[in-house]
Amino acid sequence: MDNKDIGKYELSAYCAVLAKEFEWANSLNSMARQASAERAWSAISRFYDNCKKQKLGKKGYPRFKKEQTHGSVEYKTSGWKLSEDRRCITFSDGFEAGTFKMWGTRDLHFYQLKQIKRVRVVRRADGYYVQFCIDQERLEKREPTAHNIGIDVGLNHFYTDSDGNTVANPRHLRKSEKSLKRLQRRLSRTKKGSKNRVKARNKVGRKHLKVSRQRRDFAVKTARCVVQSNDLVAYEDLKVRNMVSQHVGRVPRLEATGEPVRVRNRHLAKSISDAAWTQFRSWVEYFGKIFGVVTVAVPPHYTSQNCSNCGKVVKKSLSNRTHTCQHCGHTQDRDWNAARNILEKGLRTVGHTGTLIASGDIDLCAGVSEAGRSPETPPLKPSRGKRKPKK
Protein backbone atom coordinates (compact mmCIF):
# COMPACT_ATOMS: atom_id res chain seq x y z
CA MET A 1 0.00 0.00 0.00
CA ASP A 2 2.78 2.44 0.90
CA ASN A 3 5.84 0.86 -0.77
CA LYS A 4 5.95 -0.06 -4.43
CA ASP A 5 8.30 -2.57 -6.03
CA ILE A 6 8.55 -4.60 -2.83
CA GLY A 7 9.13 -8.31 -3.37
CA LYS A 8 8.88 -11.44 -1.27
CA TYR A 9 12.35 -11.21 0.27
CA GLU A 10 12.08 -7.49 1.04
CA LEU A 11 8.77 -8.18 2.75
CA SER A 12 10.34 -10.92 4.88
CA ALA A 13 13.24 -8.66 5.87
CA TYR A 14 10.79 -5.91 6.76
CA CYS A 15 9.46 -8.12 9.59
CA ALA A 16 12.56 -7.31 11.67
CA VAL A 17 11.89 -3.58 11.21
CA LEU A 18 8.29 -3.99 12.34
CA ALA A 19 9.43 -5.99 15.38
CA LYS A 20 11.48 -3.00 16.56
CA GLU A 21 8.67 -0.56 15.85
CA PHE A 22 5.76 -2.42 17.47
CA GLU A 23 5.92 -4.15 20.84
CA TRP A 24 3.29 -6.77 20.00
CA ALA A 25 5.17 -7.72 16.83
CA ASN A 26 8.37 -8.14 18.86
CA SER A 27 6.55 -10.51 21.23
CA LEU A 28 5.60 -12.76 18.32
CA ASN A 29 7.92 -15.57 17.29
CA SER A 30 10.30 -14.63 14.46
CA MET A 31 9.22 -17.56 12.28
CA ALA A 32 5.58 -16.66 12.87
CA ARG A 33 6.31 -13.17 11.55
CA GLN A 34 7.92 -14.66 8.46
CA ALA A 35 4.94 -16.98 7.92
CA SER A 36 2.61 -13.98 8.10
CA ALA A 37 4.75 -12.17 5.52
CA GLU A 38 4.59 -15.22 3.24
CA ARG A 39 0.81 -15.28 3.40
CA ALA A 40 0.65 -11.55 2.70
CA TRP A 41 2.92 -11.91 -0.31
CA SER A 42 0.83 -14.84 -1.55
CA ALA A 43 -2.26 -12.61 -1.60
CA ILE A 44 -0.35 -9.76 -3.29
CA SER A 45 1.16 -11.97 -6.00
CA ARG A 46 -2.22 -13.57 -6.69
CA PHE A 47 -3.72 -10.12 -7.16
CA TYR A 48 -0.93 -9.14 -9.58
CA ASP A 49 -1.37 -12.35 -11.57
CA ASN A 50 -5.12 -11.83 -11.90
CA CYS A 51 -4.52 -8.30 -13.15
CA LYS A 52 -1.96 -9.45 -15.74
CA LYS A 53 -4.25 -12.23 -16.95
CA GLN A 54 -7.17 -9.75 -17.09
CA LYS A 55 -9.37 -12.08 -15.11
CA LEU A 56 -13.06 -11.28 -15.31
CA GLY A 57 -14.72 -9.80 -12.25
CA LYS A 58 -12.90 -8.83 -9.10
CA LYS A 59 -9.16 -9.34 -9.12
CA GLY A 60 -8.84 -10.24 -5.43
CA TYR A 61 -7.35 -7.10 -3.91
CA PRO A 62 -5.66 -8.13 -0.62
CA ARG A 63 -7.72 -7.42 2.47
CA PHE A 64 -6.95 -7.52 6.17
CA LYS A 65 -8.44 -10.43 8.08
CA LYS A 66 -11.02 -9.74 10.75
CA GLU A 67 -9.48 -10.70 14.07
CA GLN A 68 -12.82 -11.39 15.72
CA THR A 69 -13.75 -14.08 13.20
CA HIS A 70 -10.63 -15.13 11.24
CA GLY A 71 -7.72 -14.53 13.59
CA SER A 72 -4.82 -16.95 13.11
CA VAL A 73 -1.11 -17.36 13.72
CA GLU A 74 1.29 -19.82 12.08
CA TYR A 75 4.49 -21.21 13.58
CA LYS A 76 7.19 -23.16 11.77
CA THR A 77 9.67 -25.20 13.80
CA SER A 78 9.95 -23.00 16.89
CA GLY A 79 7.59 -21.22 19.24
CA TRP A 80 5.65 -24.35 20.19
CA LYS A 81 6.27 -27.66 21.96
CA LEU A 82 4.22 -30.82 22.38
CA SER A 83 3.96 -32.71 25.66
CA GLU A 84 5.19 -36.29 26.02
CA ASP A 85 1.71 -37.74 25.66
CA ARG A 86 1.03 -35.49 22.62
CA ARG A 87 -2.17 -34.23 24.23
CA CYS A 88 -1.03 -30.73 25.20
CA ILE A 89 0.76 -27.97 23.32
CA THR A 90 2.78 -25.12 24.82
CA PHE A 91 3.48 -21.80 23.08
CA SER A 92 6.77 -20.23 24.13
CA ASP A 93 6.75 -16.84 22.38
CA GLY A 94 6.59 -13.46 24.04
CA PHE A 95 2.82 -13.55 24.56
CA GLU A 96 3.19 -16.30 27.19
CA ALA A 97 -0.06 -17.97 26.21
CA GLY A 98 0.89 -21.09 28.16
CA THR A 99 -0.18 -24.70 27.78
CA PHE A 100 -3.42 -25.85 26.17
CA LYS A 101 -5.08 -29.26 26.11
CA MET A 102 -6.05 -30.48 22.66
CA TRP A 103 -9.33 -32.27 21.97
CA GLY A 104 -9.55 -34.46 18.91
CA THR A 105 -9.37 -37.95 17.45
CA ARG A 106 -6.02 -37.63 15.65
CA ASP A 107 -3.20 -39.70 17.13
CA LEU A 108 -0.06 -37.56 16.91
CA HIS A 109 2.08 -40.48 18.14
CA PHE A 110 1.80 -41.91 14.63
CA TYR A 111 4.10 -39.13 13.31
CA GLN A 112 7.62 -38.08 14.19
CA LEU A 113 8.23 -34.56 15.47
CA LYS A 114 10.52 -33.84 12.53
CA GLN A 115 7.60 -34.55 10.19
CA ILE A 116 5.62 -31.61 11.62
CA LYS A 117 6.62 -28.68 9.43
CA ARG A 118 4.15 -26.02 10.57
CA VAL A 119 1.64 -25.45 13.35
CA ARG A 120 -1.24 -23.05 12.82
CA VAL A 121 -3.68 -21.76 15.42
CA VAL A 122 -6.95 -20.61 13.85
CA ARG A 123 -10.05 -19.05 15.31
CA ARG A 124 -13.50 -20.27 14.37
CA ALA A 125 -16.96 -19.32 15.57
CA ASP A 126 -17.03 -22.24 18.01
CA GLY A 127 -13.51 -21.90 19.43
CA TYR A 128 -9.80 -22.20 18.60
CA TYR A 129 -8.22 -25.00 16.60
CA VAL A 130 -4.62 -26.10 16.05
CA GLN A 131 -3.63 -27.46 12.64
CA PHE A 132 -0.50 -29.53 11.99
CA CYS A 133 1.11 -29.55 8.54
CA ILE A 134 2.80 -32.96 8.33
CA ASP A 135 5.19 -34.27 5.67
CA GLN A 136 3.76 -37.74 5.16
CA GLU A 137 3.09 -39.76 2.05
CA ARG A 138 -0.36 -41.31 1.79
CA LEU A 139 -0.97 -44.20 -0.57
CA GLU A 140 -3.78 -46.71 -0.12
CA LYS A 141 -4.32 -49.96 -1.98
CA ARG A 142 -7.58 -50.94 -3.63
CA GLU A 143 -8.82 -53.77 -5.78
CA PRO A 144 -9.39 -52.90 -9.47
CA THR A 145 -13.05 -52.82 -10.40
CA ALA A 146 -12.71 -52.77 -14.22
CA HIS A 147 -15.38 -50.10 -14.31
CA ASN A 148 -15.26 -46.54 -15.66
CA ILE A 149 -17.68 -43.74 -14.91
CA GLY A 150 -18.64 -40.33 -16.23
CA ILE A 151 -20.20 -37.74 -13.93
CA ASP A 152 -22.52 -34.87 -14.84
CA VAL A 153 -23.17 -32.51 -11.92
CA GLY A 154 -26.42 -30.61 -11.68
CA LEU A 155 -28.92 -28.91 -9.41
CA ASN A 156 -31.88 -31.30 -9.55
CA HIS A 157 -29.49 -34.12 -8.63
CA PHE A 158 -26.04 -33.56 -7.22
CA TYR A 159 -24.64 -35.76 -9.96
CA THR A 160 -25.79 -38.35 -12.49
CA ASP A 161 -23.33 -41.00 -13.63
CA SER A 162 -23.04 -42.78 -16.96
CA ASP A 163 -24.86 -45.83 -15.53
CA GLY A 164 -27.98 -43.79 -14.79
CA ASN A 165 -27.45 -43.65 -11.01
CA THR A 166 -28.20 -40.36 -9.28
CA VAL A 167 -27.23 -38.80 -5.96
CA ALA A 168 -29.67 -36.40 -4.34
CA ASN A 169 -28.64 -32.78 -3.90
CA PRO A 170 -28.47 -32.17 -0.11
CA ARG A 171 -29.05 -28.36 -0.33
CA HIS A 172 -27.54 -27.65 3.09
CA LEU A 173 -27.87 -23.88 2.87
CA ARG A 174 -31.46 -24.00 1.64
CA LYS A 175 -32.48 -26.19 4.56
CA SER A 176 -30.84 -23.84 7.08
CA GLU A 177 -32.08 -20.55 5.59
CA LYS A 178 -35.07 -20.30 7.94
CA SER A 179 -32.98 -20.51 11.10
CA LEU A 180 -30.29 -18.27 9.58
CA LYS A 181 -32.82 -15.55 8.83
CA ARG A 182 -34.13 -15.70 12.37
CA LEU A 183 -30.63 -15.40 13.86
CA GLN A 184 -29.69 -12.56 11.52
CA ARG A 185 -32.85 -10.63 12.49
CA ARG A 186 -31.88 -10.95 16.14
CA LEU A 187 -28.39 -9.73 15.30
CA SER A 188 -29.70 -6.65 13.51
CA ARG A 189 -31.79 -5.65 16.54
CA THR A 190 -28.87 -5.58 18.96
CA LYS A 191 -26.93 -2.45 19.80
CA LYS A 192 -23.53 -2.02 18.17
CA GLY A 193 -20.68 -2.54 20.59
CA SER A 194 -22.79 -4.41 23.16
CA LYS A 195 -22.16 -7.87 24.54
CA ASN A 196 -25.50 -9.09 23.23
CA ARG A 197 -24.35 -8.23 19.72
CA VAL A 198 -21.21 -10.28 20.21
CA LYS A 199 -23.30 -13.26 21.36
CA ALA A 200 -25.74 -12.88 18.47
CA ARG A 201 -22.90 -12.61 15.94
CA ASN A 202 -21.31 -15.75 17.38
CA LYS A 203 -24.59 -17.68 16.97
CA VAL A 204 -24.84 -16.64 13.32
CA GLY A 205 -21.22 -17.64 12.77
CA ARG A 206 -21.77 -21.04 14.37
CA LYS A 207 -24.71 -21.71 12.09
CA HIS A 208 -22.77 -20.77 8.96
CA LEU A 209 -19.86 -22.90 10.19
CA LYS A 210 -22.16 -25.89 10.59
CA VAL A 211 -23.50 -25.48 7.04
CA SER A 212 -19.99 -25.29 5.59
CA ARG A 213 -18.93 -28.39 7.53
CA GLN A 214 -21.99 -30.30 6.33
CA ARG A 215 -21.17 -29.35 2.74
CA ARG A 216 -17.54 -30.39 3.11
CA ASP A 217 -18.43 -33.70 4.80
CA PHE A 218 -20.83 -34.57 1.98
CA ALA A 219 -18.24 -33.71 -0.68
CA VAL A 220 -15.53 -35.80 1.01
CA LYS A 221 -17.66 -38.91 1.52
CA THR A 222 -19.22 -38.76 -1.95
CA ALA A 223 -15.87 -38.24 -3.69
CA ARG A 224 -14.25 -41.10 -1.78
CA CYS A 225 -17.09 -43.46 -2.69
CA VAL A 226 -16.88 -42.50 -6.38
CA VAL A 227 -13.12 -43.00 -6.56
CA GLN A 228 -13.02 -46.29 -4.66
CA SER A 229 -15.67 -47.94 -6.85
CA ASN A 230 -14.19 -47.03 -10.27
CA ASP A 231 -10.92 -47.24 -12.18
CA LEU A 232 -11.51 -44.05 -14.19
CA VAL A 233 -13.59 -41.01 -13.29
CA ALA A 234 -14.41 -38.42 -15.97
CA TYR A 235 -16.03 -35.11 -15.12
CA GLU A 236 -16.61 -31.70 -16.69
CA ASP A 237 -13.99 -28.97 -16.48
CA LEU A 238 -16.52 -26.36 -15.35
CA LYS A 239 -15.66 -22.73 -14.64
CA VAL A 240 -17.90 -22.36 -11.62
CA ARG A 241 -16.62 -18.86 -10.89
CA ASN A 242 -17.98 -17.64 -14.22
CA MET A 243 -21.30 -19.34 -13.60
CA VAL A 244 -22.02 -17.54 -10.33
CA SER A 245 -20.35 -14.16 -10.93
CA GLN A 246 -22.34 -11.07 -11.84
CA HIS A 247 -20.98 -9.21 -14.89
CA VAL A 248 -22.74 -6.26 -16.47
CA GLY A 249 -23.69 -6.92 -20.09
CA ARG A 250 -22.58 -10.54 -19.97
CA VAL A 251 -24.80 -13.61 -19.69
CA PRO A 252 -23.16 -16.46 -17.76
CA ARG A 253 -22.83 -19.78 -19.53
CA LEU A 254 -24.83 -22.21 -17.42
CA GLU A 255 -24.82 -24.97 -20.01
CA ALA A 256 -21.91 -26.12 -22.14
CA THR A 257 -23.81 -25.79 -25.41
CA GLY A 258 -21.53 -23.49 -27.35
CA GLU A 259 -24.06 -20.66 -27.04
CA PRO A 260 -24.91 -18.60 -23.93
CA VAL A 261 -28.11 -19.62 -22.17
CA ARG A 262 -30.51 -16.73 -21.76
CA VAL A 263 -31.22 -17.22 -18.07
CA ARG A 264 -30.74 -14.56 -15.42
CA ASN A 265 -27.97 -15.64 -13.11
CA ARG A 266 -29.48 -14.27 -9.89
CA HIS A 267 -31.91 -17.20 -9.78
CA LEU A 268 -29.26 -19.93 -9.78
CA ALA A 269 -26.12 -18.41 -8.25
CA LYS A 270 -27.00 -19.39 -4.68
CA SER A 271 -27.96 -22.94 -5.66
CA ILE A 272 -24.73 -23.40 -7.63
CA SER A 273 -22.64 -22.17 -4.70
CA ASP A 274 -24.57 -24.39 -2.29
CA ALA A 275 -23.87 -27.47 -4.45
CA ALA A 276 -20.07 -26.95 -4.07
CA TRP A 277 -19.07 -28.55 -7.38
CA THR A 278 -15.51 -27.20 -7.16
CA GLN A 279 -15.00 -28.67 -3.69
CA PHE A 280 -16.31 -32.04 -4.86
CA ARG A 281 -13.97 -31.99 -7.85
CA SER A 282 -10.96 -31.16 -5.66
CA TRP A 283 -11.66 -34.13 -3.41
CA VAL A 284 -12.17 -36.44 -6.40
CA GLU A 285 -8.73 -35.43 -7.70
CA TYR A 286 -7.20 -35.83 -4.23
CA PHE A 287 -8.60 -39.32 -3.64
CA GLY A 288 -7.69 -40.22 -7.22
CA LYS A 289 -4.05 -39.65 -6.36
CA ILE A 290 -4.37 -41.47 -3.03
CA PHE A 291 -6.00 -44.61 -4.47
CA GLY A 292 -4.23 -44.56 -7.85
CA VAL A 293 -7.38 -43.90 -9.89
CA VAL A 294 -7.29 -41.95 -13.15
CA THR A 295 -9.32 -38.72 -12.97
CA VAL A 296 -9.92 -36.84 -16.21
CA ALA A 297 -11.40 -33.34 -16.65
CA VAL A 298 -13.00 -33.04 -20.09
CA PRO A 299 -14.20 -29.90 -21.92
CA PRO A 300 -17.90 -29.35 -21.16
CA HIS A 301 -18.85 -28.16 -24.64
CA TYR A 302 -21.89 -29.87 -26.18
CA THR A 303 -22.04 -32.63 -23.56
CA SER A 304 -25.74 -31.91 -22.99
CA GLN A 305 -26.61 -31.29 -26.63
CA ASN A 306 -24.96 -34.24 -28.37
CA CYS A 307 -26.75 -37.55 -28.60
CA SER A 308 -24.82 -40.30 -26.79
CA ASN A 309 -26.18 -42.89 -29.23
CA CYS A 310 -25.51 -41.38 -32.69
CA GLY A 311 -23.49 -38.24 -31.87
CA LYS A 312 -25.82 -35.78 -33.61
CA VAL A 313 -26.52 -32.36 -32.09
CA VAL A 314 -29.96 -32.02 -30.52
CA LYS A 315 -30.48 -28.51 -29.19
CA LYS A 316 -32.54 -28.16 -26.04
CA SER A 317 -33.20 -25.55 -23.35
CA LEU A 318 -32.59 -25.86 -19.62
CA SER A 319 -36.27 -26.60 -18.99
CA ASN A 320 -36.17 -29.65 -21.28
CA ARG A 321 -35.05 -32.47 -18.99
CA THR A 322 -35.47 -35.34 -21.47
CA HIS A 323 -33.17 -35.98 -24.41
CA THR A 324 -35.03 -37.09 -27.54
CA CYS A 325 -33.00 -37.50 -30.70
CA GLN A 326 -34.82 -36.82 -33.97
CA HIS A 327 -32.13 -38.64 -35.97
CA CYS A 328 -31.99 -42.05 -34.29
CA GLY A 329 -35.02 -41.90 -31.97
CA HIS A 330 -32.93 -42.35 -28.82
CA THR A 331 -34.74 -41.16 -25.66
CA GLN A 332 -32.96 -40.74 -22.34
CA ASP A 333 -32.76 -38.51 -19.32
CA ARG A 334 -30.87 -35.31 -20.11
CA ASP A 335 -28.24 -35.68 -17.37
CA TRP A 336 -27.76 -39.39 -18.07
CA ASN A 337 -27.12 -38.61 -21.72
CA ALA A 338 -24.58 -35.92 -20.73
CA ALA A 339 -22.80 -38.32 -18.36
CA ARG A 340 -22.37 -40.86 -21.15
CA ASN A 341 -20.89 -38.17 -23.40
CA ILE A 342 -18.51 -37.12 -20.62
CA LEU A 343 -17.31 -40.71 -20.18
CA GLU A 344 -16.73 -41.06 -23.92
CA LYS A 345 -14.69 -37.84 -23.98
CA GLY A 346 -12.70 -39.00 -20.96
CA LEU A 347 -11.84 -42.34 -22.57
CA ARG A 348 -10.78 -40.57 -25.76
CA THR A 349 -8.58 -38.16 -23.82
CA VAL A 350 -6.83 -40.92 -21.90
CA GLY A 351 -6.39 -43.06 -25.00
CA HIS A 352 -4.75 -40.31 -27.10
CA THR A 353 -2.59 -38.60 -24.51
CA GLY A 354 -1.51 -41.49 -22.33
CA THR A 355 -3.36 -40.41 -19.16
CA LEU A 356 -2.41 -36.76 -19.56
CA ILE A 357 -4.62 -35.59 -16.71
CA ALA A 358 -4.24 -38.75 -14.68
CA SER A 359 -4.09 -38.24 -10.96
CA GLY A 360 -0.60 -39.69 -10.73
CA ASP A 361 1.01 -37.36 -13.29
CA ILE A 362 0.08 -33.98 -11.85
CA ASP A 363 0.28 -32.93 -8.22
CA LEU A 364 -3.37 -31.99 -7.81
CA CYS A 365 -3.40 -31.78 -4.03
CA ALA A 366 -1.18 -30.14 -1.48
CA GLY A 367 -0.05 -32.18 1.48
CA VAL A 368 0.91 -35.35 -0.40
CA SER A 369 4.67 -35.44 -0.33
CA GLU A 370 6.90 -37.01 -2.95
CA ALA A 371 9.88 -37.16 -0.60
CA GLY A 372 8.71 -40.05 1.56
CA ARG A 373 8.15 -42.65 -1.14
CA SER A 374 9.09 -46.21 -0.28
CA PRO A 375 11.40 -48.25 -2.53
CA GLU A 376 8.42 -50.37 -3.62
CA THR A 377 6.60 -47.32 -5.05
CA PRO A 378 8.99 -45.48 -7.41
CA PRO A 379 8.10 -41.91 -8.40
CA LEU A 380 5.81 -41.63 -11.39
CA LYS A 381 7.37 -40.39 -14.61
CA PRO A 382 5.65 -37.78 -16.75
CA SER A 383 3.78 -39.21 -19.72
CA ARG A 384 5.40 -36.83 -22.20
CA GLY A 385 8.97 -37.70 -23.17
CA LYS A 386 11.77 -35.39 -24.12
CA ARG A 387 11.80 -34.10 -27.68
CA LYS A 388 14.67 -35.43 -29.78
CA PRO A 389 17.05 -32.79 -31.17
CA LYS A 390 16.92 -32.12 -34.88
CA LYS A 391 19.82 -33.38 -36.97
pLDDT in tens, 171-203: 999 999 999 999 999 999 999 999 999 999 999
Mean pLDDT of 309-335: 85
Task: Report in angstroms the alpha-carbon separations of 312 from 229, 236, 305.
Answer: 31, 20, 8
The pLDDT of residue 329? 82
- Nearest 5°: phi and psi at 235? -145, 165
Furthest-apart CA pair in the chain: how many Å? 80
Distance CA 300, CA 39 (A): 34
Per-residue pLDDT reduced to its tens digit, 254-278 = 444 444 343 445 678 889 999 999 9
Mean pLDDT of the chain: 83
Mean pLDDT of 156-180: 93
**Is residue 236 a contact partner of residue 301, using CB atoms and an 8 Å limit?**
no
In terms of phi and psi (left: phi > 0; alpha: psi -120 to 50; beta: otherwise), the region of 304 is: alpha
Mean pLDDT of 314-338: 86
**Is residue 245 a contact partner of residue 57, using CB atoms and an 8 Å limit?**
yes
